[in-house]
């Protein structure tokens, strides 16, 4: 009987085990990560999401684990301001193709920035009362997200021309294959967003938030996008709208020292409207790991090694100024020596007053994206192209030249007596080259002027250090849509010629 | 339930007492030579009564007339003799060959080989012991049909790739390992995330299993065999059974081996003068870059290094005569009530490159006890402690391509090593150690690589001054309790656990920045006074399984039935903790700890949970050993999928027909056929390993950061944590399903001397989980997991054995041959993807090599002009010169929605890339030849793979002839095209590679087939008659062996399996003894 009782107990034990193992709730596990469902319930979470949009800009400026991965050459090299003796695709054009890893990375990063902005826009619009506690912060967040979404579309237009517009968050498989945009649709989206952003953004931020976009940033970029659009459409209305936007800029001024626009210790100054806030990750800013990798070691820096011939170039030739740029400056223009070394054309902006990150390979010196001098010259262009006052246009150029000369005499003011708009246009083009050389603006300008038939581009125009390798063609006014998109999205149309 | 038990008890109590006891004596001899056999176990069948033969082979045992005696001895065929009226029973025993009665572990049970219906390969401890590798995976290499095992490298803790019957998915395709019934799980094993893989550590956890402790390995290859393991079994199942004790007197087994390893080849590189003239030529050949020639290469420049001696870095890196030691001892025995086995082992293997070794300590115990007639309980525990030294930090190709002028040692440097870089340090005024981001005490600038842009990190200094080591402690074990209330009815409850604790310790001396090719600021991450950084990282795995199985076994005349039902609950938890500090103020190894020292410390933790519920049932029926039918069903629920998609049911069926048992067959008088069985099966199993889990959730990433507040002299601002939503949640994800079909036959021929198995298999994977990179316009960063691909693997397997004795000579041979045809049959929207190390595309094998095709080399300007007249090249600078490669224009621009346009467009661009080779071997094989003569034995083992290609990345560096980092080149570049020296295969040397000669093309794709003499062993067993006099020693075998003695291959490198951390050639000396 004793054995029997023992068996009963054992059988019971097994029965319990079987029942226990049937408990399906053990399958309901949670990942050790916050889910979207549980997020966006506090203002700080919105704040982090907004900063996440800005953080994506790191991808436009970091070393990216190799000088062949860094996307800066996409904007630096095609212009006639910067050249190199390396057979870089964006220098010689002939080998730019849809499989380019750098184009693909740039394209993806821009859309990722736009997607982050779209999430914030969706969440801020839907936010319940009581979550925002700081006055004005909700509007500011919406404004920042709209601004950065606009900046993304602005970049897409300048680089790819026909990339799809993305003005909402993708939430369904059916929304994944948009068609290409055409004309200035990308700019139009940017203009719409910037117009709204300008009404939402604060005029200034406190010191701790220095570097965030403001009303001035929005109006500046809005005007710039309108000038770019006007270049294509030829419509005076676009230029006039640009002037209206520029006129709303308040409190910005040219800094006395031209070089302060490219120095590590004078970031976010009075002239600055928008900068990428390069710094070093507090642990060890690792230029081989992306911003998205980790907080302590993911890169937060910008790479100026192309200009400084940093050791991370590993023998690859540096980027230098073109002879054309060196010859452009009037004798005695102080900008020349601050921009380049006339002896060897080594480029000096950003790297003559630089501060490296811990690795010594990248920099904490902010890339300036939009500054007041650019606005002044653009405004001159808008006036000139919309039958505005030539005197006012030339005076705007003279403001820039006055600052440039500092205490010297050169460059002398341009005569306000010039009335030939074609001549003024040329002066504007020259001034933009001298003032903005090597800041990633030049090819965007050349491209829109060529598309608007204001100039004709040819191999000689680029003044390359390796003219025999150069093979510019009209198709290069739009870089190819990367295969990463065309391979997956059957509705996209590749740009002509690729 | 209780009723059944009561009935069972009654039945058992009626056990009758039969017959009268008396004694039987006899002598056991070896049938081959008539010598007496000591140590043979003689048991009365169905009891634990018995004895063991004495040193002269004699025995005495008490029996009754109805008893059956079972004679068993390792290496001999077990025989049964009915006692009857005999009082003397002499028996000569035959050495065992591939036996029908061999017991095969099939998962939740065992079965005789003749009764198998599924596709199962096996190997036993004898074969395993021939390998000198520290893990059981390499011991399986080439031994079983359908089982492919790669040699990862000469690093003893690297993980081999194991693939069973092709590759069923382009994601995680490793088989499931089940050790003593415990399905293993290792955190992040299937994660494609590099960070997770790093935290997981490079240690092969299978190296914690001492091959000496393994009794047998069974590989379940088709679904009908593997379905019992459900959603984790789609890549096949490897069942490892460890040794247990046997009733009888205590036995001691001792194994000791020691080996020496060397690398068979190294790279032939240019010496300093040749290197200099080579790179001068390469710079001259590119007019636009000629001026950028590094000063170290300019003969007139004071920095010229061309007059330096040639330093041999490879010689310094190779670990010459690297030792392997392996010792193990096992004590086993038992009584009729309980058996035990206890073993201990120690092994240490150094890698073929310096700074690399693995040591292992193992303890294993296995106890089984019959509490009474109805209850059995048992416990197995394997303890293992591994220590790995992982300081190598480089590979052979990296050091081979160091500039030959760069020295290694410098007696004037305090470290004894030559530094690679210099830099300027300037005080940083804004340094503030009280801030979260304190900055650095000094800023770094003017970093200069002393030996030119090609300067290599002085890896030898790093090996000496830094350290990186791992320790892995593993406890793997189970306990069970089994009740057998009725004869044939077994109810068993088992609890199993596997706990792994992996600890990495990493020390980095700040002063080693000088030895780096990419030096960082040594003043970052501390207050400017520290000497180095130290970090510890733990990774902890806990895998718990509780299981109840009910097994009923019944024979009714010729009808044999076997039922199994089971419920299983498995929960996994992978956790990690990392702590590191930049502020370690001393270089003393005893003072390396992470102090609580903000802001210079870093910490992170994380965990990944998983759970699995499984219910399974198996029914087996056979009629008179003639007709067999098996059916299995398993239902699994996995936590990795969204509710509603968690549960899956996996059925399988198999059947066999033993033709040779049929009366009509026996009438045919085909006496050369001893046994013939046809079998076939179909089944479906799942694969949940390919999802990383939680794909149905949109998670928030907190890793982006931004900085605000810089200006007014402060360039840094304050770093602020940001967030993003990187994923696209997929609610519909469910597991991959693999359907397999298998049929074949097993035959024993020519008086059992030949065994032959041939099988055809087809494995179809449906819904391969594909991490799809959505179109970039969506801005979705993470890949989205979708069930969007199908793959088919088909092939045949042949296993052939021969075993025959000719007088004193014994000869045996066994061979296996497997073919694999792998085809992707469906991908996402029909579009190719990059995965599995290559390209995945419909109609092609997984991960095939895709690139440009070389057309030829321009021999003169006319050829260039002719080609350019018709073609343009979209990748190069389009300024082709004689000596450059021209590539084939195969295709044109595809129309949207199409992958290819087969009309050439005279533009060489990415459209023209094409199939260049496949990375999954089309066939592989193993062949073992063995012989015995008196006390001598010899075995020779060949292994090989064929029909496989590989991109030779070592050669792509060693013959690139273009990089501005001027790596040293293979001496084969002396055959390059130079104008005077023409070549049709090797282009000119030109820095910058303006024509993109180095684009990914078939130029560096090679045949990676090989056949290796994997193992040779010659042993001598001291005659038993001599040993018998010792009264203690039962068997002593001394042996000498060689591993990887030669390789036949067309591969142009060091080794087709690994060019970077080469595998070793070994000489082994060993001893096996039994007491």
| Secondary structure (DSSP) of B683-746 | EEEEE-TTS-S-TTS-BPB---EEEE--BTTBSS-EEEE--B------TT---EEEEEEEEEEE
Position B4 pLDDT exceeds 70: no
B528 interface with A at CB cutoff 8 Å: no
Side-chain-facing half-sphere of B922: CA atoms under 13 Å? 12
Alpha-carbon distance of B397 to B959, in angstroms, equals 12
For residue A472, the chain B residue with the least C-alpha distance is: B877
Which residues 892-911 of B have a C-beta within 8 angstroms of A?
893, 896-897, 909-910
Give the distance, in angstroms, between the CA of residue B965 and the centroid of all CA atoms in the same chain.
35
B694 interface with A at CB cutoff 8 Å: yes
- SS3 category, B146: coil
| Arithmetic mean of pLDDT over chain B | 88
Position B1010 pLDDT exceeds 60: yes
CB atoms within 10 A of CB A360: 27
What torsion, rounded to 10 degrees, do the Cα atoms B705, B709, B714, B718 define? -40
Confidence of residue B661 (pLDDT cuts 50, 70, 90): confident
- Could you give the C-alpha distances from A224 to A246, B376, B476, in angstroms and in order? 9, 85, 67
pLDDT at B8: 39
CB atoms within 10 A of CB B869: 7
pLDDT at B128: 85
Question: Which class for B10: exposed (0-12), middle (13-18), buried (19 or more C-beta within 10 A)?
Answer: exposed
CB contact under 8 A, B613 and A21: yes
B718 interface with A at CB cutoff 8 Å: yes
Q: At what angle do helices A390-405 and A421-436 cross, to 10 degrees?
A: 30
pLDDT at A17: 56
ipTM of the complex: 0.94
- SS3 category, B173: coil
What torsion, rounded to 10 degrees, do the Cα atoms A102, A105, A106, A107 define? 120
Lowest mean pLDDT among B162-166, B324-328, B849-853, B937-941: B162-166
CB contact under 8 A, B722 and A48: yes
Interface probe for A, chosen from B637, B705, B872 (most Cβ of A below 10 Å), is B705
B966 chain-A contacts, CB cut-off 8 A? 315
Residue B965 to chain A, least CA–CA distance (Å):
6
Give the distance, in angstroms, between the CA of residue B758 and the centroid of all CA atoms in the same chain.
26
Q: Do the Cβ atoms of A152 and A111 come closer than 8 Å?
A: yes
CB contact under 8 A, A279 and B715: yes
CB atoms within 10 A of CB B228: 29
- SS3 category, B294: coil
Alpha-carbon distance of A140 to A146, in angstroms, equals 10
Q: Do the Cβ atoms of B954 and B1054 come closer than 8 Å?
A: yes
Residue A466 to chain B, least CA–CA distance (Å):
6
CB atoms within 10 A of CB B136: 24
B568 interface with A at CB cutoff 8 Å: yes
B567 chain-A contacts, CB cut-off 8 A? 18, 21-22
- SS3 category, B230: helix
Instruction: Please give the structure tokens belonging to residue B1043.
Output: 């591993």
pLDDT at A30: 75
Q: Which of B372, B518, B996 is facing A312, going by the closest CB pair? A: B518
Alpha-carbon distance of B703 to B709, in angstroms, equals 20
Position B5 pLDDT exceeds 50: no
User: Residues of chain A with pLDDT > 90: what percent?
Assistant: 78
- Could you give the C-alpha distances from B125 to B136, B217, B347, B810, in angstroms and in order? 10, 8, 17, 20
Confidence of residue B14 (pLDDT cuts 50, 70, 90): very low
Average pLDDT over residues B249-259: 90
Q: Do the Cβ atoms of B705 and A16 come closer than 8 Å?
A: no
Question: Which class for A446: exposed (0-12), middle (13-18), buried (19 or more C-beta within 10 A)?
Answer: buried
Question: Which class for B348: exposed (0-12), middle (13-18), buried (19 or more C-beta within 10 A)?
Answer: middle
pLDDT tens for B138-191 read 888 888 888 888 888 889 988 888 888 888 887 788 899 999 989 998 888 877
Position B75 pLDDT exceeds 80: no
Alpha-carbon distance of A94 to A107, in angstroms, equals 20
Supply the Cα-derived Rg of chain B in whole angstroms: 33
Among the listed residues B109, B72, B107, the one whose alpha carbon sits nearest the alpha carbon of residue B93? B72
Position B338 pLDDT exceeds 80: yes
- What kind and span of H or E run contains B864? helix B861-870
A48 chain-B contacts, CB cut-off 8 A? 702, 720-723
B579 interface with A at CB cutoff 8 Å: no
Instruction: Please give the structure tokens belonging to residue B13.
Output: 């109590």
Among the listed residues B461, B429, B455, B458, the one whose alpha carbon sits nearest the alpha carbon of residue B442? B429
CB atoms within 10 A of CB B584: 26
Lowest mean pLDDT among A201-205, B72-76, B529-533: B72-76
Among the listed residues B903, B967, B995, the one whose alpha carbon sits nearest the alpha carbon of residue B400? B967
Residue B832 to chain A, least CA–CA distance (Å):
8
How big is the A-B interface in CB pairs under 8 Å? 368
B725 interface with A at CB cutoff 8 Å: yes
A487 chain-B contacts, CB cut-off 8 A? 831-832
- Residue ranges in chain A modelled with pLDDT below 50: 1
Q: What is the DSSP letter of B778?
A: G
Alpha-carbon distance of B107 to B219, in angstroms, equals 10
Among the listed residues A317, A269, A293, the one whose alpha carbon sits nearest the alpha carbon of residue B287? A317
B299 interface with A at CB cutoff 8 Å: no
Alpha-carbon distance of A70 to A89, in angstroms, equals 13
B19 interface with A at CB cutoff 8 Å: no
Give the distance, in angstroms, between the CA of residue A290 and the centroid of all CA atoms in the same chain.
16
Q: What is the 3-state secondary structure (H, E, C) of B971-1011?
A: HHHHHCCCCCCCCCCCCCCCCCCCCCCCCCEHHHEEECCEE
B639 chain-A contacts, CB cut-off 8 A? 26-29
Q: Do the Cβ atoms of B254 and B1072 come closer than 8 Å?
A: yes
Residue A113 to chain B, least CA–CA distance (Å):
7
CB contact under 8 A, A314 and B964: yes
Average pLDDT over residues B103-124: 84
Lowest mean pLDDT among B408-417, B572-581, B691-700, B821-830: B691-700
Q: Do the Cβ atoms of B810 and B802 come closer than 8 Å?
A: no
Lowest mean pLDDT among B224-233, B471-480, B997-1006: B224-233
β-strand partners of B563: B552, B619
Instruction: Please give the structure tokens belonging to residue A362.
Output: 């990248």
Out of A15-24, A437-446, B57-66, B216-225, give the one with best mean pLDDT: A437-446
Q: What is the DSSP letter of B7?
A: H
Residue A400 to chain B, least CA–CA distance (Å):
22
Of residues B1035 and A153, which shows the higher confidence score?
A153
B5 interface with A at CB cutoff 8 Å: yes
């Amino acid at each position: 009987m004793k054995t029997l009782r023992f068996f009963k107990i054992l059988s019971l034990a097994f029965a319990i085990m079987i029942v226990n193992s049937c408990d399906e709730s053990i399958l309901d596990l949670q990942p050790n990560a916050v889910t979207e469902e549980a997020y966006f319930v506090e203002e700080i979470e919105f704040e982090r999401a907004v900063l996440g949009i800005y953080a994506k800009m790191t991808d436009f400026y970091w070393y990216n684990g190799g000088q062949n991965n860094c996307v800066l050459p996409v904007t630096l090299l095609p212009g006639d301001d910067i050249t190199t003796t390396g057979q870089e695709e964006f220098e010689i054009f002939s080998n730019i193709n849809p499989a380019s890893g750098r184009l693909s990375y740039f394209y993806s990063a821009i859309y990722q920035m736009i997607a982050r902005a779209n999430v914030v826009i969706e969440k801020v619009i839907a936010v319940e009362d009581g979550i925002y506690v700081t006055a004005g912060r909700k509007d500011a967040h919406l404004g920042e997200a709209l601004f950065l979404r606009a900046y993304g579309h602005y970049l897409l237009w300048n680089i790819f021309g026909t990339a799809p517009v993305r003005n909402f968050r993708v939430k369904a498989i059916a929304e994944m294959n948009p068609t290409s945009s055409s004309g200035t649709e990308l700019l139009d989206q940017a203009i719409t967003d910037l117009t709204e952003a300008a009404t939402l953004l604060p005029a200034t931020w406190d010191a701790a938030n220095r570097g965030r976009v403001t009303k001035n940033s929005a109006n500046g970029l809005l005007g710039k996008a309108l000038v770019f659009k006007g270049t294509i459409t030829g419509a005076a209305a676009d230029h006039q709208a640009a002037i209206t936007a520029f006129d709303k800029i308040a409190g910005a001024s040219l800094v006395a020292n031209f070089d302060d626009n490219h120095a590590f210790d004078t970031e976010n100054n009075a002239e600055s409207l928008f900068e990428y806030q390069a710094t070093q990750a507090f642990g060890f800013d690792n230029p081989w790991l992306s911003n998205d990798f980790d907080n302590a070691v993911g890169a937060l820096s910008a790479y100026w090694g192309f200009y400084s011939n940093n050791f991370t170039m590993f023998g690859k030739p540096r980027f230098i100024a073109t002879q054309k740029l060196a010859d452009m400056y009037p004798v005695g223009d102080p900008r020349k020596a601050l921009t380049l070394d006339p002896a060897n054309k080594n480029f000096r902006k950003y790297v003559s007053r630089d501060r490296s990150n811990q690795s010594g390979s990248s920099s904490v010196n902010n890339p300036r994206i939009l500054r007041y001098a650019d606005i002044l010259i653009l405004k001159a262009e808008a006036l000139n192209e919309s039958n505005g006052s030539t005197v006012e246009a030339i005076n705007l150029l003279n403001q820039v030249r006055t600052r440039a000369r500092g205490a010297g005499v050169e460059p002398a003011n341009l005569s306000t007596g010039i009335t030939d708009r074609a001549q003024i246009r040329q002066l504007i083009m020259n001034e933009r080259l001298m003032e903005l050389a090597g800041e990633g603006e030049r090819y965007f300008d050349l491209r829109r002027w060529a598309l608007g038939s204001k100039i004709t581009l040819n191999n000689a125009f680029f003044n390359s250090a390796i003219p025999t390798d150069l093979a510019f063609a009209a198709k290069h006014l739009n870089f190819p849509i990367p295969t990463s998109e065309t391979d997956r999205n059957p509705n996209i149309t590749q740009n002509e010629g690729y | 339930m209780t009723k059944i038990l009561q009935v069972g008890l009654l039945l058992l109590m009626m056990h009758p007492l039969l017959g009268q006891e008396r004694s039987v004596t006899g002598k056991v001899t070896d049938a081959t030579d008539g010598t007496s056999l000591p140590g043979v176990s003689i048991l009365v069948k169905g009891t634990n009564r018995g004895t063991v033969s004495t040193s002269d082979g004699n025995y005495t045992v008490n029996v009754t007339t109805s008893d059956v005696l079972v004679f068993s001895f390792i290496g001999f065929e077990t025989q049964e003799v009915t006692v009857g009226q005999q009082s003397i029973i002499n028996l000569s025993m035959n050495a065992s060959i591939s036996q029908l009665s061999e017991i095969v572990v099939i998962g939740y049970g065992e079965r005789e080989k003749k009764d198998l219906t599924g596709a199962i390969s096996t190997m036993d401890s004898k074969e395993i012991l021939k390998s000198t590798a520290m893990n059981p995976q390499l011991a399986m290499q080439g031994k079983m049909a359908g089982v492919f095992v790669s040699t990862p490298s000469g690093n003893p803790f690297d993980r081999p790739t194991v693939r069973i019957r092709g590759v069923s998915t382009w994601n995680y395709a490793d088989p499931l390992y089940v050790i003593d019934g415990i399905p293993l799980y290792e955190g992040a094993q299937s994660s494609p995330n590099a960070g997770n893989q790093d935290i997981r550590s490079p240690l092969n956890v299978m190296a914690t299993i001492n091959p000496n402790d393994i009794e047998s390995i069974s590989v379940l290859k088709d679904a009908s065999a593997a379905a019992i393991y459900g959603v984790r079994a789609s890549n096949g199942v490897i069942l490892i059974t460890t040794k247990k004790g046997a009733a009888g007197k205590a036995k001691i087994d001792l194994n000791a081996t020691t080996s020496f390893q060397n690398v068979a080849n190294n790279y032939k590189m240019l010496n300093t003068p040749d290197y200099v003239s080579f790179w001068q030529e390469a710079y001259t050949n590119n007019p636009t870059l000629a001026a950028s020639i590094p000063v170290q290469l300019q003969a007139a420049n004071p920095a010229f290094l061309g007059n330096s001696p040639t330093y041999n870095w490879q010689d310094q890196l190779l670990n010459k005569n690297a030792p392997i030691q392996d010792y193990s001892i096992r004590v086993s025995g038992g009584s009729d009530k309980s058996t035990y086995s206890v073993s201990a082992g120690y092994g240490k293997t150094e890698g073929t490159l310096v700074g690399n070794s693995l040591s292992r300590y193992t303890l294993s115990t296995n106890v089984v006890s019959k509490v009474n007639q109805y209850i059995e309980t048992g416990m197995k525990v394997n303890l293992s402690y591994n220590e790995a030294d992982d300081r190598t930090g480089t590979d052979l190709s990296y050091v081979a391509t160091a500039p030959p002028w760069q020295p290694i040692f410098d007696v004037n440097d305090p470290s004894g090593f030559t530094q690679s870089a210099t830099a300027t340090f300037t005080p940083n005024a804004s340094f503030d150690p009280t801030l979260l981001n304190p900055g650095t005490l000094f800023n770094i600038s003017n970093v200069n690589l002393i030996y030119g842009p090609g300067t290599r990190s002085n890896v030898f200094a790093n090996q000496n001054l830094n350290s990186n080591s791992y320790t892995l402690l593993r406890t793997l074990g189970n306990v069970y309790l089994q009740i057998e209330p009725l004869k044939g009815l077994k109810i068993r409850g088992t609890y199993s656990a596997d706990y792994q604790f992996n600890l990495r310790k990493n020390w980095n001396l700040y002063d080693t920045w000088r030895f780096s090719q990419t030096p960082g600021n040594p003043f970052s991450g501390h207050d400017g006074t520290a000497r180095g950084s130290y970090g510890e990282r733990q990774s902890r795995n806990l895998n718990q399984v509780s299981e109840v199985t009910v097994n009923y076994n019944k024979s009714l005349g010729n009808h044999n039935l076997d039922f199994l039902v089971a419920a299983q609950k498995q929960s996994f938890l992978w956790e990690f903790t990392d702590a590191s500090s930049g502020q370690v103020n001393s270089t003393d190894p005893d003072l390396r700890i992470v102090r609580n020292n903000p802001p210079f410390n870093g910490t992170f933790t994380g965990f990944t949970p998983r759970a699995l519920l499984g219910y399974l049932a198996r029914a087996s029926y056979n009629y008179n050993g003639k007709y067999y039918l098996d059916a299995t069903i398993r239902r699994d629920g996995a936590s990795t999928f969204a509710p509603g998609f968690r549960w899956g049911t996996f059925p399988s069926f198999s059947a066999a027909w033993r033709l040779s048992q049929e009366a009509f067959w026996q009438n045919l008088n085909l006496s050369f056929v001893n046994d013939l069985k046809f079998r076939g099966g179909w089944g479906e199993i799942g694969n949940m390993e390919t999802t990383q889990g939680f794909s149905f959730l949109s998670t928030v990433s907190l890793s982006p950061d931004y900085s605000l507040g810089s200006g007014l002299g402060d360039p840094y601002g304050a770093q602020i944590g940001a967030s993003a939503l990187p994923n696209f949640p997929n609610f519909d994800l469910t597991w991959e399903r693999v359907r397999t079909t298998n049929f074949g036959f097993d035959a024993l021929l020519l008086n059992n001397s030949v065994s032959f198995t041939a099988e055809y298999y087809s494995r179809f994977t449906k819904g391969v989980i594909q991490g799809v990179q959505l179109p970039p316009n969506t801005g979705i960063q993470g890949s989205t997991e979708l069930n969007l691909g199908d793959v088919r693997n088909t092939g045949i397997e042949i296993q052939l054995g021969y075993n025959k004795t000719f007088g004193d000579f014994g000869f045996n041979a066994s061979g296996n041959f497997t073919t694999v045809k792998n085809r992707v049959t469906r991908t996402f929207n029909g579009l190719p993807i990059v995965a599995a190390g290559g390209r995945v595309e419909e109609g092609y094998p997984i991960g095939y090599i895709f690139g440009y095709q070389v057309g030829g080399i321009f021999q003169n300007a006319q050829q260039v002009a002719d080609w350019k007249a018709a073609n343009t090249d979209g990748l190069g600078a389009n300024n082709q010169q004689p000596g450059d490669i021209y590539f084939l224009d195969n295709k044109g621009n595809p129309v949207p929605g199409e992958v290819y346009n087969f009309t050439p467009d005279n533009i060489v661009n990415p459209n023209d890339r094409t199939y260049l080779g496949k990375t999954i071997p089309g066939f592989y094989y193993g062949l073992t030849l063995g012989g015995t003569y008196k006390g001598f034995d010899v075995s020779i083992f060949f292994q090989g793979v064929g029909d496989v290609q590989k991109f030779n990345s070592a050669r792509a560096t060693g013959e690139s002839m273009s990089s501005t980092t001027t790596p040293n080149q293979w001496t084969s570049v002396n055959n390059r095209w130079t104008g005077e020296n023409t070549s049709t295969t090797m282009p000119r040397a030109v820095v910058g590679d303006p024509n993109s000669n180095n684009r990914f093309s078939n130029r560096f794709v090679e045949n990676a087939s090989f056949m290796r003499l994997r193992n040779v062993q010659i042993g001598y067993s001291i005659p038993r008659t001599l040993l018998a006099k010792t009264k203690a020693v039962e068997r002593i075998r001394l042996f000498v062996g060689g591993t990887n003695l030669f390789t036949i291959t067309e591969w142009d490198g060091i080794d087709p399996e690994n060019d970077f951390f080469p595998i070793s050639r070994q000489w082994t000396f060993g001893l096996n003894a039994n007491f």
